[in-house]
Every structure is written in structure tokens, then in C-alpha cells.
């Protein structure tokens, strides 16, 4: 049996797509700006010259410079994954603690979790395959090949497991009218998360370096487990369903839009600490 898609629901699906897209883009830019500013601060503290551009941090100090000490290498290349993991965990805790959430706020927190986990485990995988970033940390710490391969395997595993957990969170917050029938759940997942994720990647890829593109492509491992995730209600886990769209969701979307414009302007200023 299939599921029907009445024309009367087109407006609702449009609201869902637009709200999630704005929340996701805002969450991506917020994490990106927070991460890059943190790296910029530590680079200044460690006497490594750097500039924050739209594509991210560009280190001006040459790789062979003596200022690239072991501490500088470890700190600057671990800031991004560790910070994003901490933000993702904190957001998970808030999501569980805050009982009543609007659709826009729920989308924002879920996207923070998705991008935060992606920036953690996806960065480890990308750095391992392209032999940059974390790979340099492994080299300066003389960890050897076996720990490095183990790190890649664990990163892949935890990225997938995180995707399973994210899928359960999405199923928990489904609006009540979308909880009956696996087909309607798939449609909601496509409109609210998969399609916005594809659009966001399409928007950021022209302004991203190759390594960052690879990192975010690994994000698919955080989304596709939803397709076969077991409903958390069957495991005795329950959260309140999302309410219908309210006036505060419109205010949130406007706030997201203003925030997106301001953060893009900040990233285009070529920020550096002297």
C-alpha cells in the first residue's frame, strides 16, 4: 500500500522544507564561524599567522617554519573536531531536557547535532584519506600505522552509529500526523532533512576546498540510517511530537535569515588577529 499526497498538504511541506533549510544553513554557518574563530584565536596564541576567509582558515606561516611546534600542530588540528563534538553533545542534552520545542527550534538543534558530529568524525575520515590535518598530528606524535588505521575504523563506526541515533531523534520528533505509516515518515524525512542537506551542500560547495567537500559528503552516513532505523517508541523511548507551525516559527526563520547574512558578511572580511 502506498500513501496519498493531497494537494492541500503542499503548503505544509513547503513550510517544513523552508524552515529546515534556513535552520540548517544557519546551524552550519554558526558552527563554521565558531570553529574557525576558535582556530584563529589559538593560532594567534601559538604565534601561527592565519586569516579567516569564506573558505575557512588559511595558515600564512609556512609548514617548515619553526613556529609549527608539536603543541601548535596538535592544538590547531584538533580544535575543530573536539569543539564540534562538545557542541553536538551539549545540544543533545538540551534537546532531551527541553520538553516543549517549536519546529524551527527542533530543526536547528538537530542540524547542530548533524553538522557537529559530521565535523568530528567526518574530519577524522577525510584527514585520514587525504593525509592532512589529523594525519599530521599522528605523525608528530609518532603513533604509527596501526593506531591510525584503528582511528579511521572507529571514526567510520561512530559516524554510522551517530546516524542511527540521529535517525531515532528524527523519528521521535515527527509531527503526530506523520507517525502513522512508514511511507509518510520517509516523505517527511526527505522533505525535512535529506533535501535541505542536498541544497545546503549545493550552496556551500562552490565556496569550499576539496577537503571540506569530502568531509561533508561523509555526512550521508548521518542521514541514511533513518531509512532502516527501528522506531524508538518500540524501545520505550518517548518524546512529545512537534507542534504545528506557529507564529514564533516565522520569527525564527526571519532570525535565521538575518543571522545567515551577518555571518556571511563576517566570513568575507578576511579576519585576522595581529
Given pLDDT bands bounded at 50, 70 and 90, which one contains residue 1?
A: very low
- Which residues, including other chains, have CB under 8 Å from residue 34's CB and lie 6 or more apart? 83, 87
Tens-place pLDDT, residues 39-79: 999 988 888 888 888 778 888 888 888 888 888 888 888 89
**Window from 55-64, 93-102, 133-142 with minimum mean pLDDT:** 133-142
- Which residues, including other chains, have CB under 8 Å from residue 157's CB and lie 6 or more apart? none
Nearest-CA neighbor of 159 among 260, 81, 56, 263? 81
Given CA atoms 151, 154, 160, 164 in this order, what sign does their dihedral have? negative
Other C-beta atoms within 10 Å of 236: how many? 6
Q: Name the residue with higher pLDDT: 265 or 239.
A: 265
> Is 0.85 topped by the overall pTM?
yes
Phi and psi dihedrals of 20, rounded to 5? -65, -40
Phi and psi dihedrals of 271, rounded to 5? -75, 135
User: Is the distance from CB of 55 to CB of 118 less than 8 angstroms?
Assistant: no
Name the maximum alpha-carbon separation found in the chain.
67
Q: Is 79 helix (H, G, I), strand (E, B) or coil?
A: helix
pLDDT of 121 reads: 87
Amino acid at each position: 500500500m502506498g500513501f496519498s499526497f493531497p494537494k492541500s498538504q503542499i503548503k505544509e511541506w513547503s513550510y517544513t522544507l523552508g524552515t529546515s533549510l534556513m535552520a540548517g544553513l544557519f546551524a552550519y554557518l554558526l558552527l563554521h564561524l565558531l570553529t574557525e574563530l576558535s582556530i584563529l584565536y589559538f593560532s594567534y596564541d601559538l604565534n601561527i599567522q592565519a586569516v579567516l576567509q569564506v573558505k575557512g582558515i588559511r595558515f600564512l606561516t609556512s609548514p617548515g617554519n619553526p613556529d609549527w611546534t608539536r603543541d601548535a600542530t596538535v592544538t590547531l588540528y584538533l580544535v575543530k573536531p573536539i569543539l564540534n563534538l562538545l557542541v553536538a553533545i551539549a545540544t543533545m542534552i538540551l534537546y532531551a531536557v527541553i520538553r516543549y520545542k517549536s519546529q524551527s527550534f527542533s530543526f536547528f538543534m538537530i542540524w547542530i547535532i548533524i553538522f557537529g558530529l559530521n565535523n568530528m568524525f567526518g574530519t577524522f575520515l577525510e584527514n585520514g584519506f587525504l593525509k592532512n590535518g589529523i594525519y599530521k598530528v599522528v605523525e608528530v606524535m609518532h603513533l604509527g600505522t596501526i593506531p591510525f588505521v584503528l582511528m579511521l575504523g572507529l571514526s567510520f563506526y561512530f559516524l554510522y552509529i551517530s546516524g542511527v541515533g540521529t535517525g531515532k531523534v528524527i523519528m521521535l520528533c515527527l509531527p503526530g500526523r506523520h507517525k502513522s505509516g512508514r511511507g509518510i515518515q520517509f516523505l517527511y524525512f526527505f522533505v525535512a532533512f535529506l533535501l535541505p542537506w542536498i541544497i545546503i551542500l549545493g550552496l556551500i560547495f562552490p565556496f569550499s576546498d576539496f577537503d571540506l567537500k569530502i568531509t561533508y559528503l561523509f555526512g550521508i552516513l548521518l542521514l541514511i540510517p533513518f531509512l532502516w532505523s527501528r522506531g524508538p517508541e518500540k524501545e520505550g523511548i518517548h518524546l512529545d511530537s512537534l507542534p504545528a507551525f506557529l507564529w514564533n516559527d516565522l520569527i525564527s526563520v526571519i532570525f535565521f535569515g538575518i543571522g545567515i547574512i551577518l555571518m556571511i558578511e563576517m566570513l568575507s572580511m578576511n579576519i585576522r588577529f595581529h
